[in-house]
Amino acid sequence: MLGIRRISTSRWWHKKKNWQIFVIFLFLVFVRISKGAFYKDLYFFISKPFWPGQFQKEIVLNSVNQEYFIKLNLLKKDNIRLRQILSLQESSNGENILAAIISRKTGSWWRQIILNKGSNDGVEIGDIVIGPGGLLGIVKNTSLFTSSVTLITSPESKLGVWVDRVQTSGLLVGLGDDYPSLILYSKDADIQVGDFVSSSPASTLLPPNIPIGIVHSIDETLKSKKTAQISLLANPHVIDWVQILKVNI
């Protein structure tokens, strides 16, 4: 009888173990299908007590004056009527969303940040994220209470930009480090260290004239093109508050 009971108990235990494995498998499938939205929302509530203090909003507000000064000089050169004809991107006035950074992977290859505002707050994929100084990245995906932002330093990032002093367009490509690469397909482009770089008036992803960075160094060794390292105006390593710009398509 004892032998029979032991076998029965053993079979019951194995069945229970199989159910546990099956439940874990279903949970992993759910996380995969939802792209981690449940995990991000859970992280939202767990990390809420540790969010950066409200006083740091002043950092964003104090930097706005510098941004507006640059933008005004660039906006004078932008033809609004032409943008409307070409159906290019424009930012919506009065619809910006202030958000806090609750997680960041600024030192990893993927280079992304997570914000405490999601689809429940009106954030959508493709919205632009700026910090004190200029452009940080673009919203890649959202959950109800959070949104993930791909930084312009990420290898996934490729954006059309504009060098105002020489009136030249280029392609800004993230390399996975702190200095994205500006590619100019004209060897004759007379760019210099210190030149200001902004979003291109012809970009289909970004509104025009968003400050991005300054030319840090130039590489002229390639025969077919000229490249430069860009020092970003907005530093994702130290920023705690950002603005999400709604975009009119």
Phi, psi of 67 (to 5 degrees): -65, -45
CATH superfamily, domain 34-249, is Rod shape-determining protein MreC, domain 1 (2.40.10.340)
Residue ranges of domains in the chain: 34-249
Q: Tell me, what's the pLDDT at 101?
A: 93
- Compute the distance between CA of residue 117 and CA of residue 145 in angstroms, rounded to an integer: 5
Condensed to tens digits (0 to 9), the pLDDT of residues 64-87 reads: 766 777 776 776 666 555 555 554
Candidate from 14-18, 78-82, 110-114 with smallest mean pLDDT: 78-82
| pTM (global) more than 0.75 | no
Condensed to tens digits (0 to 9), the pLDDT of residues 37-63 reads: 766 777 788 877 777 665 566 666 666
Condensed to tens digits (0 to 9), the pLDDT of residues 134-155 reads: 999 999 999 999 999 999 999 9
Mean pLDDT of 192-204: 89
User: What string of DSSP letters covers the chain?
Assistant: -HHHHHHHHHHHHHHHHHHHHHHHHHHHHHHHHTTTHHHHHHHHHHHGGGSPPGGGHHHHHHHHHHHHHHHHHHHTT--HHHHHHHT--EEPTT--EEEEEEEEETTSSS-EEEES--GGGT--TT-EEEETTEEEEEEEEE-SS-EEEEETTSTT-EEEEEETTTTEEEEEE--SSSSPEEEES-TT----TT-EEEE-TT-SSS-TT-EEEEEEEEE---SS-EEEEEEESS-TTT--EEEEEPEE-
Does pLDDT of 199 surpass 60?
yes
